[in-house]
Amino acid sequence: MQELRGLPVANAINEELIKEAAQLQGTKPHLAIIRVGERPDDMSYERGATKKMEKVGFDSTSYTFPADIDNDTFQKEFDKINEDTAIDGILLLRPLPKHLDEKAIELRIDPRKDLDGISPMNLAKVYAGDETGYAPCTAEAVVEMLDYANIDLTGKRVTVVGRSLVIGKPVTMLLMKKNATVTVCHTRTKDMAAECRKAEIVIAAAGVAKMINADYISQDSVVIDVGINVDEAGNLCGDVDYDAISTVASIASPVPGGVGSVTTSVLAKHLLRAAKVRP
């Protein structure tokens, strides 16, 4: 089985970004990262995004707020960042604490700065196949990995496990735009393993550690694991039992070291797009 790692994909995207950015006149693209509280996964993603911006020569500013910030204050602070003309793009680390109105932020964010596709306008554009919108970065990272591996999606049978607005639904739209035939599985799907075995490509985004085993995978299929979980031993793992599928799949992405490595490069790609159309 061929291991499809994210780092070479990310490096290829980074090289293109550096070339394109060299043609920009004036200020560097500038990212705002907004974090509420001290969740370890948020802080890890923030560090990764900051390092990626530095690597490609872009600016970033982190805005951190206490977990107990009240809703009105947070919305006012968010509006200041959203309206700052020096900011080209915004990454809001989610989920927000439950007492904050996340839906209100999704409606408030400037779609031109919404790099992770959380606004209704950008999601609508993804569903309409309008490339002027921003898809969620992780969903787009899946497609970047398949493109890098030279996998022609036209007519391919793809099963997506998971139907979230962050990955499952938008990645389905992106795959369909490339002429794949897509089946979406979820918690109410009957005989999910059988549905997955029909596929030539399986995208695992269920959020359940090592759920996808060899019973789910047909011979020589491609498996992209988007899950980030912790197993019973406390180790980071994906939704796929990587060892179990290694004798069946032809190509698979690992966790860690797979899709996550590409996500911040897609974020930087979106930031450059936003900077190019800065009002």
Q: How confident is the model at residue 231 (pLDDT cuts 50, 70, 90)?
A: confident
The three-state (H, E, C) secondary structure of 49-98, written as one string: HHHHHHHHCCEEEEEEECCCCCHHHHHHHHHHHHHCCCCCEEEECCCCCC
C-alpha 217/C-alpha 208 separation (Å) is: 16
Angstrom distance (rounded) from CA 236 to CA 229? 6
Whether residue 268 contacts residue 20, with contact meaning beta carbons closer than 8 Å, is answered with no
Q: Is the pLDDT of residue 25 over 80?
A: no
Q: pLDDT digits over 85-137, tens only?
A: 999 999 999 999 999 999 999 999 999 999 999 999 999 999 999 999 999 99
pLDDT band at 279 (very low <50, low <70, confident <90, very high): confident
Which domains, and CATH codes, for the chain? 24-113 (3.40.50.10860), 137-260 (3.40.50.720)
Confidence of residue 238 (pLDDT cuts 50, 70, 90): very high
Q: What is the pLDDT of residue 234?
A: 86
**Predicted pLDDT at 172:** 98
Q: Are 119 and 111 in contact (CB under 8 A)?
A: yes
What's the pLDDT at 76?
98
> Tokens at residue 232, please?
């019973």
Query: What is the maximum alpha-carbon separation in the chain?
Result: 56
Over the stretch 138-170, which tens digit does the pLDDT of each residue have? Answer: 999 999 999 999 999 999 999 999 999 999 999
Contact status, residue 170 vs residue 123, Cβ threshold 8 Å: yes
Contact between 195 and 159 under an 8 Å Cβ cutoff? The reply is yes
Nearest to 91 by CA among 278, 273, 268, 275: 268
Contact 240, 214 (CB under 8 A): no
At 155 the pLDDT is 98
Question: Position 68: which residue type?
Answer: D
pLDDT band at 27, cuts 50/70/90?
A: confident
> What does pTM read for this prediction?
0.96
pLDDT single digits (tens) 268-278: 999 999 999 88
pLDDT computed for residue 51 by the predictor: 97
Residue 270 and residue 279: Cα distance in Å, rounded?
Answer: 16
Distances (CA, A) of 249 to 241, 242, 246: 12, 10, 6
pLDDT in tens, 205-227: 999 999 999 999 999 999 999 99
